Amino acid sequence: MEATEKTARQMEFLEKARGAAAAYAERLGHAPRSYIETFGCQMNARDSEKLRGILREAGFADAREENEADLVLYNTCTVRDNADQHVYGRLGRLGGNRKSHPGRIVGLCGCLMQEPHAVEKIKKSYPFVNLVFGTHNLYAFPELLYRALTEKKRVFEIEEKTTVLPESLPVERKHGFKSGVNIMYGCDNFCTYCIVPYVRGREISREPEDILAEVRHLAADGVKEIMLLGQNVNSYGKKLAEPATFAGLLRRICRVEGIERVRFMTSHPKDLSDDLVRAMAEEKKLCPHLHLPVQSGSDRLLKQMNRHYDRAHYLGLVEKLRAAVPDISLTTDIIVGFPGETEEDFEATLSLVREVGFDSAFTFIYSKRTGTPAASYPDQVPDEVAHERFDRLLAAVKEGAERMCGRFAGQVAEVLAEEENRQPGYITGRTPHNLVVHFPGTKEEIGKIVKVRLSDPRGFYYFGERV
Ligand code: 5AD
Ligand code: SF4
């Protein structure tokens, strides 16, 4: 079956799911309510918006909390072991309450479900889970939902690779004013620690025209800020029948009227082109922020990690970026405790953090992922050593981030008002540099770009005044 036929078939199943949900409503005595919990990255967050869109079209209302839901769906992550444990912990709790929710549909999807050992465990130890699917058949959710609503037996459907992209189905955005847009799926890099290429499959780019059509549609719907999503956006378009470049795509997206800010993630240092650096300097709508995971400051470890760049290359990119966009905000991901990491390797990471001056960094303790090359490397670093290094790294990151955050003190920034703050009368928003600012405002301003003076630095964020 062709991809377009498969998508058309899902639209038919959406209709059928609506009928089945109406019957479910009758059994329940009220409109069914759904609750989706998203683990992991922005990719998963965007996938959940698609799942929510389908549920809404099928006639499900949003549950305010998990406990009142007639359908609970966990969109899982498996990037590190603690992501897995988080899911199992939540499932344990859900299982404990299951007596008070007879007939409830409990579903699992996402990255962890692409791991056969996890699926086995769910089959055996969590009998109340009655719907399981993976990352490659998200597009088939209408059909899976229909089956979960109508079949007595448990529905387990995992596919091995992507045949249909989950586009063209309804989407329910979390925010009216900003949206993620998938530009590519999967990853071909095979960093030796990383499970992503195994659970998300090979890299597939969407056609530029399809992406632009989606962005225009979002702009017409009031969206101001777009976040382009992909595991490695810098290699966007290389494998398309008519190859395209990421910088070219960005420039076209910046032309779309109504879109005021464009962000993207994640970039891989090995593929970051001069053309992209130029685009960052020239395109006014491109936010002056780049998330550029470095992972380690040691050349020896970067090689072991299969990252295809060295420390000098990374520092060279930082220099180029700062020359092109002087006040650019740089953020990164760092792993400590990778197999074989010596004190000297770790010191190299610390010194890189000090040398670059990151605006912030996500720091992780290496987590062994079965099936990845690094899992069988000798010299796994003992937990105590990894934790001790992690604490030292965190202190260095914090020190740098506070210094970097302080550089904006007193400036006036254009802040996109995003949500109400817990403190009454305050709104929280973000500057183009992705800096969080709390400022006096009302909820009617959410989604607007307002001018705020960054008067009061608080470490990693600001309290600001209206100007
Ligand atoms: N252990 C620890 N951190 C990891 N990451 C990916 N795989 C692992 C792992 N096995 C981190 C990397 C990546 C981020 C999304 O998660 O830093 O950039
Ligand atoms: Fe995202 Fe990777 Fe976690 Fe999947 S495994 S949700 S791609 S971080």
- 6-60 pLDDT, tens digit per residue, is 999 999 999 999 999 999 999 999 999 999 999 999 999 999 999 999 999 999 9
Instruction: Please indicate, yes or no, if residue 168 is contained in any of the structural domains.
Output: no
Is residue 167 in some structural domain? no
The answer to whether position 392 is within a domain reads yes
In Å, what is the CA distance from 448 to each residue of 33, 250, 430, 444, 465? 31, 23, 11, 9, 16
With b meaning 16 or more CB within 10 Å and e meaning fewer, what string describes 98-109?
A: eeebeebbbbbb
* Segment (H or E) for 363: strand 360-365
Which mutation among 111, 369, 372 tests ligand 2's pocket best, with the greatest number of atoms within 8 A of CB? 111
Residue 69: pLDDT band (50, 70, 90) is very high
Paired strand residues for 361: 332
Bridge partners for 453 per DSSP = 412, 465
CATH of residue 415: 2.40.50.140
**Closest ligand 1 atom, CA of 367?**
1
Would you give the distance in Å from CA 229 to the centre of its chain?
8
Q: How confident is the model at residue 96 (pLDDT cuts 50, 70, 90)?
A: confident
Q: Which of 352, 372, 404 is at the close of a domain?
A: 404
Of 193, 270, 336, the residue with max ligand 1 atoms within 8 A of its CB, to mutate for a pocket test, comes to 193
Answer yes or no: do 151 and 30 share one domain.
yes
CATH of the domain at 7: 3.40.50.12160
> Count of domains in the chain?
4
| Domain match, 415 and 381 both | no
**162 inside domain:** no
Q: How, if at all, do strands 178-182 and 71-76 pair?
A: unpaired
Does residue 366 have its Cβ closer than 6 Å to ligand 1?
Answer: yes
Does a structural domain hold residue 372? yes
Percent of the chain with pLDDT over 70: 100
Q: At residue 440, what is the residue type? A: P
Is a pLDDT exceeding 90 seen at residue 424? yes
Ligand number nearest CA of 76 is: 2
Contact 157, 144 (CB under 8 A): yes
What are 22's two structure tokens?
């109406």
- 10 Å CB burial of residue 124 (0-12, 13-18, 19+) is exposed
75 lines ligand 1 (CB under 6 A): no
How far does residue 191's CA lie from ligand 1's centre (Å)? 9
CA distance 210 to 432: 26
Q: Are 327 and 386 in contact (CB under 8 A)?
A: no
Residue 212 placed within a domain? yes
- 3-class secondary-structure state, position 453: strand
Among residues 161, 165, 143, 154, the alpha carbon closest in space to that of 108 is found at 154
**Residue 433 shares a structural domain with residue 383:** no
Residue 156, pLDDT score:
98
Q: Please say which residue of 248, 279, 310 terminates a domain.
A: 279
Give the pLDDT confidence of 213-252 residue by residue, as tens digits.
999 999 999 999 999 999 999 999 999 999 999 999 999 9
Residue whose entry in the numeric block shows the structure tokens 């928003």? 429
Q: Which atom of ligand 1 is nearest to the CA of 369?
A: 10
**316 and 243 belong to one structural domain:** no
**What is the span of the domain harbouring residue 423?**
409-466
Q: Say whether both 177 and 273 belong to one domain.
A: yes
My answer on whether 46 and 179 are in the same domain is no
User: Same domain, yes or no, for 397 and 416?
Assistant: no
Q: Is residue 163 part of a domain?
A: no
C-alpha 32/C-alpha 344 separation (Å) is 57
- Is the pTM value of this prediction over 0.85? yes
Helices (H), 283-382: 299-304, 311-324, 343-356
Do both 233 and 369 map to the same domain?
Answer: no
User: CA 205 to CA 433: how far, in whole Å?
Assistant: 27
| pLDDT, tens digit, 9 for 90 and up, residues 313-352 | 999 999 999 999 999 999 999 999 999 999 999 999 999 9
Tokens encoding 391: 């604490």
Domain shared by 133 and 186, yes or no: no
Would the CB of 333 count as within 6 Å of ligand 1? yes
pLDDT at 102: 87
Q: Residue 177 phi/psi, 5° resolution?
A: -100, -10
> Do 179 and 252 have their domain in common?
yes
Q: Last residue of a domain, which of 226, 251, 279?
A: 279
Phi-psi domain of 265 (left: phi exceeds 0; alpha: psi -120 through 50; beta: other): beta
Shared domain check, 211 and 225? yes
Tell whether 164 is covered by a domain: no
Q: Mark whether 139 and 22 lie in a shared domain.
A: yes
Residue scoring higher pLDDT (100 or 389): 389
Residue nearest to atom 3 of ligand 2 (CA): 77
